[in-house]
Amino acid sequence: MKAEREWKDQLYQEFARIGKCLSSPKRLELIDLLAQGPKAVDQLAKITGMSVANVSQHLQTLHESRLVRSHKRGNFVIYDIAEPSVAEFMVSLHRLSENQLVEIQKLKSEILHHGISMEPIAMEELLMRMDRGEVVLLDVRPEDEYAMGHIPGAISIPMKELEKQLSSLPADKEIVAYCRGPYCLMSAQAVEILKSKGIKAIRLEEGVYEWKRYMEDSKLSSI
């Protein structure tokens, strides 16, 4: 019996390594960013507002827990999530946290409904309307993230280039903007810009990983 107890203690000690690693808000943000595609340390520092030294320290902790991996590209060290299950875990964490913590629901409501209406379109409705050719799906993430993976049928106009490329969008269709998922503000900002220019627009709350999970769930339910 003692051997079994020691075995369980060691087992949960290893589980706790991941828990301790995820106790930092900044490390959670870094994982979310890397789930969109590989990035260099200085790129992550610019996005998060942290110093390169702090980003490097957080990445080292994530690397030691085998949640991220790295490789050299010239003079740069590029980081990526260790495997797709890390991104899947983060999606589950987001959903659980939003369901259980009213504070997250309030923060989300405050940020996304501060100006014009930001009621999102449902994934099922989006796919049906795309099939009918009624909407244009717009990915406003950086080009490198779009290249790593995007929702099929989406066109890429990074947020920083949106106002310059408004003329390239069709005037007779509604624009559906999406970015990195429910807690990314770029799609909300894009909708605000589009509406201010008289363009019909709406936000898709989900990102690429949420779309993948939706498609997998749809396949399972049809079996």
Task: Report the alpha-carbon distance of residue 33 to residue 95 in Å, rounded.
Answer: 17
Asked whether 134 and 125 are in contact (CB, 8 A), the reply is no
Task: Answer yes or no: 184 catalytic.
Answer: no
Closest CA to 117 of 186, 206, 175, 202: 202
Q: Would you call 1 helix, strand, or coil by DSSP? A: coil
Helix (H) or strand (E) holding 71: strand 68-73
Task: Report the alpha-carbon distance of residue 125 to residue 155 in Å, rounded.
Answer: 18
Q: Would you call 53 helix, strand, or coil by DSSP? A: helix
- Burial class of residue 118 in the structure, from the number of CB atoms within 10 Å of its CB (0-12 exposed, 13-18 middle, 19+ buried): middle
> Structure tokens of 136?
């244009």
Q: Which long-range contacts (CB under 8 A, 24 or more apart) does 98-106 make?
A: 98/182
Radius of gyration of the chain (CA): 20
Q: Which residue has the tokens 């950086």?
A: 142
Give the active site residue among 81, 179, 188, 191. 179
Residues with catalytic roles: 179
